[in-house]
Amino acid sequence: MEGGCTCRNVRYRLTGRPMIVHACHCTWCQRETGTVHALNAMSEAERVAHVAAQPEIVDTPSASGKGQKIARCPRCKVAVWSNYPGAGPAVRFVRVGTLDDPSQCPPDVHIFTSSKQPWVTFPPDAKVFADYHDRREVWPQEALERWRVLRERMKKA
């Protein structure tokens, strides 16, 4: 899967399936994206390969107070991914809308739906959580193993 910004200056390639795709309905994500939710494909940083120019990293406040680092195109300013303090630079939350074919990454889970817009509805089989979720209950086993390996590497770094 490949993607990038609007002006095509920043380009990236996902070298594997994401661990999970979150649709986050928190008010911060609504404000940050200018729409009803952020749709992020969570992947290890080494699985997000640069194909063209490097993005600029912008420190942005967050609801947690810990902030996030948003990778934006230095020309058109489109956000292509974020890094959050919990996983730091090791995990990229790739904005699904920046993929050339976003239909490849539908949401696996809807989170922070307690603050969703009232007119947003979910398919009957959607995994929906008022706040966050327990990874062990939602993530596929393969993704949990990737997460475990990643956390071990982060402890050693």
- List pLDDT tens digits, range 119-131: 999 999 999 999 9
Summarize the confidence of residues 76-87 as an average pLDDT: 91
Summarize the confidence of residues 14-31 as an average pLDDT: 94
Summarize the confidence of residues 55-76 as an average pLDDT: 90
For the chain, what percent of residues have pLDDT higher than 90? Answer: 80
Summarize the confidence of residues 69-90 as an average pLDDT: 92
- Tell me the DSSP string of the chain: -EEE-TTSSSEEEESS--SEEEEE--HHHHHHHTSS-EEEEEEEGGGEEESS-PPEEEEE--TTSS-EEEEE-TTT--EEEEE-TTTGGGEEEEEGGGBSSGGG---SEEE-GGGS-TT----TT--B-SS---HHHHS-HHHHHHHHHHHHHHHH-
Average pLDDT, the chain: 93
Stated pTM of the model: 0.92
pLDDT of residue 86: 80
User: Comparing 142 with 62, which gets the higher pLDDT?
Assistant: 142
